[in-house]
A and B are shown apart, each in its own frame.
Chain A
Amino acid sequence: MKHVLAVLVEDKPGVLTRVAGLFSRRGFNIDNIAVGETVSPGISRMTITVEGSETIVEQVVKQLHKLVNVIKVSNLSDEPSVMRELMLIKVNAEVGSRSDIQQIVETFRGKVVDVSPDSMIIEVTGNEDKMEAIKLLLQHHGIKEIVRTGKVALLRGSRITREHQ
C-alpha cells in the first residue's frame, strides 16, 4: 500500500541527503518526494510517498524521527486529506488533432499553457488516477515529454501539521 508522509524538517544544509540516504540504506522505496517552505521560517516540509506494509512504514516513520533535523512526521494516509500533484505533458499536436486534445484537456480541467506549430504543453493537477487517465487518453497523439512535481498533501478541515503540538 502507498503511504503519504508529511515530514517537517529544519531547513539546514544536507537535510534532503539525510532523508534520501536513510531511505536507500534501509531499503525503503520512495515513490516520490516534494519539498518546499512552510509558514514557519527555517522549517521546510517534505511530502514523501512510500510504498510498503504497515510494519515497514512504521519503521520508516521511526527512523525518520531519529534524524536530528527531522521535527515531525505524520502519516497523512491515516487521515482524511487532500492530495494533489501537478503534471506538465508535451504532446504532439498537428493542426488536425488540436480540437480533440482541447476536449480531453477540458474534461480533465487542465490547461493548455504553450502551443507551437506541432506540439502543445498541457498542465493538469489532481490525484494519481487522474494523471494516469489523461496520459492514457493523450497517448495516441504521441506524448513527447512528461514532468511531475510529486504529491503534496494537507489534512482536511482546520487541523494542521505543525512543529509543536
Chain B
Amino acid sequence: MKKKMTKGSAMILSALQKEGVDTIFGYPGGAVLPLYDSLYDSPLRHVLVRHEQAAVHAADGYARVTGKPGVVFATSGPGATNLVTGIANAYMDSVPLVLITGQVPSSFIGTDAFQEADITGITLPVTKHNYLVKNAKQLPSILSEAFYLASTGRRGPVLIDVPKDVFDQEAHFEYSVECEIPGYNPTYNGHAGQISRAIKAIRDANKPVIFGGGGLIRSGASDALKELAEKARIPVILSLMGLGAYPGDRDLFLGMPGMHGSITANYALSEADLIVATGVRFDDRVTGKLDSFANNARIVHIDIDPAEIGKNVKIDVPIVGDVKTVLEAILKKLHPGDTTGWLEQIENWQQQNPMPGAFKGTGSTVKPQYVIRELSRLCGDNSVVATDVGQHQMWTAQHFIIREPQTFITSGGLGTMGYGFPASIGAKIAAPGKRVVCITGDGSFQMNIQELATAVNNRLDITIAIINNSYLGMVRQWQDIFYDKRYAHPLLEGNPDFVRLAEAFGAKGMRARNEQEATEAIEQAIGEKGPVVIDFVVEPEENVYPMVAPNRPINDIIIGGDRS
C-alpha cells in the first residue's frame, strides 16, 4: 500500500495541534508563504503583530501565563533577525517557546541570497537548541523534539529554521508527542541523601529563610512553598522572577532582595544561618558583592539546572531536581525548627524599616509609587500585571501586591525595554477572563508602541499605564547618584502626546496629572472595553529606593527617598 504523503507546511500545523497549540504569534513574508498558505485553511488562531520582536514577546507573555510553549512564525532574513532580542529575553528567563522561521530555499543557502540570514548561527547562544531542517522527512521528529525540549527540564526557546522548498516537499507524516533525545535527560527527583541533609539543615536552623525564584513558578511549586514556609515558620524572600509564587500580602513574606529589594529581605539574607534557595540563580542584582553575600548561612540550593548550582555562590547542600518534586519530598519528612526568635528579629527590622510611606504628591502632582499602589488597590485579585523595564518595573515589584503565580510578567534577566506591552497582549490572549494591566514607562512603551494596532485589532481589554516622567528614569537615576547629575541624554524631549496617539490607533486615551485624576482614570479605565492608555504624568525626578549600589554588600543600603 502506498503511504499517504503530507506537505511540510501541513506537517507543521498538524504537529502544533497535536501539541495543544491554539494560538500563533507571527508576521508573514516571502520565505514562509507556503506555511501561511496552509494556515489559511487551519483552525489555529494567528495573531498578526506589527513587528516580529513583538511576536516573540507576546508568545513569551502567553507562555508565562499558561505554562505552555508560545509559538511564533516569522520569515527569513530580517523577519528572523527581528526575533533575536525576544529569543534572548526568553532564554534568560527560561520561558518555553517554539519559533518557526522561513529560510531561503535549500539550493540558495550560503549564497547571500535575498533575505538570507544564518539564524541558527545567530541564535546559537540564546536558544536551548535550534535546528536547520534539511528535508521534510526530518520535520516530525524535529517538531516533536522542539516541543519536548522547550517545555521540559529548564524551559527555554527552541528555533526551527525551515527552507522555503521544505514547506512544499512531501513526506510520510507520523507524529509522536513522546520523544527521546540521547543527550537530554533532565533530573526531576532530587538525590535522597541530599534531601535528608536539607531536612536536617532546616531542623537545625535558628535563622532560616526561603529564597525563591522563577523556577518555583515554572515548576508549579507555589503550594509546596506555602506549606513549607507555614509549617516550618520560615520567612520567604522572592526574586523579581519569583514574585507571585508566595502571596505578597502574607506576614511571612519579606519582599524582593537585592539592588532595589526590601531592607528586611536584604538584612535577613545577610543574617540568616540557612538559605533554602529554590529555583533561583543568584543573579548579581540579588547578591551584590559576592564575597560578602550570606556569609553566615549554609545554603541549600534546589534547581533543575545543575550548571546553576555552585555557579556564583558556594553551595552546602546541592539538590538537582524539579523544585516542586523536591519540596514535596522535603515536606514528607519535615521537622520544623524553632524560628520564634528569628521571626521577632525580622519583625523588628520591618518596624524600623517600613517601605517608605504614602508617597504624597504636592497636590498638583502625583508620585509614580502612588500610581502603582492605586493600580494595585483598584485592579484587585483577578489580574495579570506585565511591566516594561526601568524605574516603573522596580516600583511595581515593590508596591504592586502580587498574590498568585503566573500573574506577574516581567523581563528579569535580559531587562528588555519594549517587552511589557506585547507581553501583555500575549497575556490577555492567554487569559481573556483576567484583567490585564501593562505598567510601562514613556521610554519603554515607545519601543513597541506600534502594537497598539494589534491590541485594537484583536479588541483586547488591556489597561496600559504609562509612568511618564519624560526621562529614561533609571538612566537618569544612575547619572544622578553615580555620575554627579551629568544627565547625558536620558531626557525624552519630543515625546508624543500619548492620549492623541492612542486615539489615532483607535484606542482610548486618558491623562492624569494629580492623585485625584490618577485614581479616577484607573477606575474608569478598568471598566472600558478594548485597550486604554493612561498617561500618568508623574513627578519627573523621583528615584527608586531603597538601593544597593552595584557590587556592594546587600546590607549596605542607600535608604533615600520620601520617608513620610
Binding site for B on A (CB under 8 A): 9-10, 13-14, 17-18, 21, 25, 55, 58-59, 62-63, 65-72, 163
Please list 25 pairs of residues, one from A and one from B, whose beta carbons are closer than 8 Å in the complex, sorted by A's number: A9-B183, A10-B182, A14-B120, A14-B124, A14-B132, A17-B124, A21-B124, A21-B125, A25-B125, A59-B310, A59-B311, A62-B307, A63-B307, A65-B306, A66-B305, A66-B307, A67-B183, A68-B149, A68-B183, A68-B184, A70-B183, A71-B182, A71-B183, A72-B183, A163-B182
Q: How many A-B residue pairs have CB under 8 A?
A: 39
A38 and B181 CA atoms in complex are apart in Å by: 19
B interface residues with partner A (beta carbon < 8 Å): 120-121, 124-125, 128-129, 132, 149, 181-184, 305-307, 310-311
User: How far in angstroms is the closest Cβ of chain A from B101?
Assistant: 16
Task: Please indicate the chain A residues that have their CB under 8 angstroms from the CB of B132 in the complex.
Answer: 13-14
**A62 contacts which chain B residues (CB < 8 A)?**
306-307
Closest 3 CB pairs of A and B: A62-B307, A71-B183, A68-B129
**Assembly CA distance A9 to B306 (angstroms):** 19
Q: Chain A residue with minimal CB distance to B305?
A: A66
Chain A residues with Cβ under 8 A from B310's Cβ? 55, 58-59
In the bound assembly, the distance between CA atoms of A64 and B128 in angstroms comes to: 12
Most chain B CB atoms below 10 A, which of A14, A18, A68: A68
Known: A14-B132, A62-B306. 18 other contacts (CB 8 A): A10-B182, A10-B183, A13-B132, A14-B120, A18-B124, A25-B125, A58-B310, A59-B311, A65-B306, A66-B305, A66-B307, A67-B183, A68-B128, A68-B129, A68-B183, A68-B184, A71-B182, A163-B182
Bound form: Cα–Cα A70–B306 in Å: 15
- Whether B181 lies near A68 (C-beta < 8 A) is yes
Complex: how many Å from CA A137 to CA B307? 45
Contacts of B128 in A (CB 8 A): 68
**Given the contacts A10-B182, A13-B132, A71-B182, A65 and B124 also touching, CB distance less than 8 Å:** no
Contact partners of A17 in chain B: CB under 8 A: 121, 124
Cβ contact within 8 Å between B306 and A69: no
State in angstroms the CA–CA spacing of A47 and B274 once bound together.
Answer: 40
Chain A nearest CB from B389 CB (Å) reads 23
Chain B residues lying within 8 Å of A21, measured Cβ to Cβ, are: 124-125
Which residue of B has the minimal Cβ distance to A64?
B307
User: How far is B154's CA from A62's CA once the two chains are assembled, in angstroms?
Assistant: 14
CA distance A10 to B125 in the complex (A): 19
Which residues of chain B are within 8 angstroms of A9 by Cβ–Cβ distance? 183
